[in-house]
Structure 1
Amino acid sequence: MKWKLDSAVDRHKESSYTFYLPSDHVLNQLKAGDLVKLIFMAEETLDNGYEGERMWVEILERNDSEFHGKLMNKPYYLESLQYGDLIHFNLIHICDTQLDDPYAVDMGYYLDKKVTVSNDVLSRNEFSLMLRFDPYDDSDLGWVFFSGHEEDDFNADANNFQFISVGKMLNIDDSILVFINDTVPCAYERDRETAKFVRMENYDWSIHE
């Protein structure tokens, strides 16, 4: 099966808060002998939905942003690749390393901290109302996101909501970062004219009792 290397940079641009990209601090340190992880993509998607494999490559030689390395994993699906194959790649292809990354702390927060979101938000890929309640546990930020199109019957069914990483919401709109740690309870609604979120000072919390 033919393959190509995927761009980790492009993936990060598409999902900045959920797809980790090694920082320049780490990338600048890479040298021969270090291990890096690359995404090997099949040129054609298999019937089972398989698209690619993430595998470790040992750096043999570095020339600025260009690298030569040796594949250190045995592929499960890509039969045209073998353990020990020589791989030419670029900085843009590196999605992980074995070096400590001091700038990865925020990424851990975005993936570990959770919020509740309606399925309608995920379907539309947008939201217009966000409420903050007391968190259930240490992982819960207490936020609940709505598209603004949900009906009462929809909201009454817990199956219409999911508990997901806050990073997924930030991928949709990261303007909410400025008040993500606001006091509990609080409510914000998107202004139709400016598209910015505005705090609702007189929100009726009794409807959630």
Structure 2
Amino acid sequence: MELRGCRKNETIEPEYFFHPKLKDRQKQKKGDLVRLHFVLNHTSENDPRAERMWVEITEKKLFSHKYIGILTNQPTYINSLHAGDKIDFEPKHIGRIIIPKGDQRWLDSGEKMALVSNKCLEESACDRWLYRETPDREEDSGWRLFEGTETDKYNSDSSNIRIVNIYSLLDKDPSLITPLRGAPGTAFERENINSRWIRQDRWPVQLKQM
């Protein structure tokens, strides 16, 4: 696939991440926003393996289902790409679409952020405990996610907590759709990745005043 403005070591990764169904990716049209995943083949130990960025579709090629779009945000790690650059891509490269309200995958907090323990983001790790506070910022969903073995000392170190988009969490673990529908004040836990989420109604969360 040709990516205009990309170096040879930068490509869109088509299959590594969870993505929408093929029929949904093929139905995108001019003006829609889609997220693409650009793989970084030569990175340092602390750099991500891919950079996920939004592209606005400006043209859909007839018969081939191929798209042309404009990069809408400035890359952090890819120096050869810039906001406004033209991108050629196919439905298989779409990592995420804007989910319309009314869709069963839609969440009221989907585009907002959560505080997530670094332990949850480790390879082969899973979220085992999460709760929702009343957020005090517009961009905050109120969700706090943990792997379950964190200590108070670990959680008190801000470097051990990441700010992550809610829909990005669903990319990694679609089973989170169940607890993430919970209102502020709710909490859920499970034993492992294959276990059912259980709501903790007696969890003594202290809600912030609105």
Do Structure 1 and Structure 2 share a fold, with TM-score over 0.5? Answer: yes
- Which residue identity does 1:116 align to in structure 2? L
Q: Which AA in structure 1 matches 2:163?
A: F
* Distance in 2, Cα, partners of 1:90 & 1:172: 22
Check whether the contact 2:13–2:93 (CA below 8 A) recurs between aligned residues.
Answer: yes
Does the CA-based 8 Å contact 1:116-1:143 persist in structure 2? yes
Q: Is the 8 A contact 2:114 2:166 kept in 1?
A: yes
1:165 paired with 2:165, answer: yes
Deviation at 1:179, TM superposition (A): 3.4
How many positions carry a matched residue from both structures? Answer: 176
What are the ranges of 5 or more consecutive residues in structure 2 without an aligned counterpart? 1-6, 69-78, 82-87
Which segments of structure 1 move beyond 3 Å, counting only runs of 4 or more? 1-8, 41-47, 49-52, 54-62, 66-69, 88-96, 101-110, 191-194
Tell whether the 8 Å contact from 1:114 to 1:165 is kept in structure 2 after alignment.
Answer: yes
In structure 1, C-alpha distance between the alignment counterparts of 2:58 and 2:173, rounded to whole Å: 37
What secondary structure does 2:167 align onto? Answer: helix
Corresponding residue of 1:184? 184
Checking the alignment, whether the CA contact within 8 Å between 1:66 and 1:89 is kept in structure 2 is: no
Q: Distance in 2 between matches of 1:152 and 1:174?
A: 28
Gaps of 5+ in 1: 70-75, 79-87
The answer as to whether partners of 1:2 and 1:42 remain within 8 angstroms in 2 is: no
- 1:184 and 1:57 map into 2 onto residues whose CA distance is 35
Q: Percent identity?
A: 18
Question: Alpha-carbon deviation of 1:164?
Answer: 1.6
1:1-209 equivalent positions in 2, closer than 5 A: 6=12, 8=14, 10=15, 14-16=17-19, 23-26=25-28, 45=42, 62=62, 64-65=63-64, 91-92=91-92, 110=110, 112-124=111-123, 125-192=125-192, 195-205=195-205
C-alpha separation in 2, matches of 1:155 and 1:122:
14
Contact 1:129 1:187 in 2 (8 A): yes
Q: Residue type matched to 2:26 in 1?
A: D
Does the CA contact (< 8 Å) of 2:12 and 2:39 recur in 1? no
Shift of 1:183: 2.6
What value does the CA root-mean-square deviation take over the aligned residues? Answer: 5.1
Distance 2:129 2:196 in 1: 11
Q: Are the structure 2 counterparts of residues 45 and 24 from structure 1 closer, same or farther at C-alpha, using a change threshold of 3 Å?
A: same
C-alpha contact (below 8 Å) 1:118/1:161 kept by paired residues? yes
Name the structure where helix makes up a greater proportion of residues: 1
Amino acid at match of 1:114: M
Shift of 1:136: 2.0
**TM-score, normalised via structure 2 length:** 0.56
The 3 A distance-change label for structure 1 pair 113 and 92 is: same
* Structure 2 CA distance for aligned equivalents of residues 200 and 126 of structure 1: 18
Instruction: Tell whether the 8 Å contact from 1:130 to 1:188 is kept in structure 2 after alignment.
Output: yes
Instruction: In structure 2, give the amino acid aligned to 1:16.
Output: H
Question: Structure 1, residues 94-151: CA drift from partner, whole Å, max 9, x if none?
Answer: 789xxxx8756759964x3111111121224411000111112222111100101111
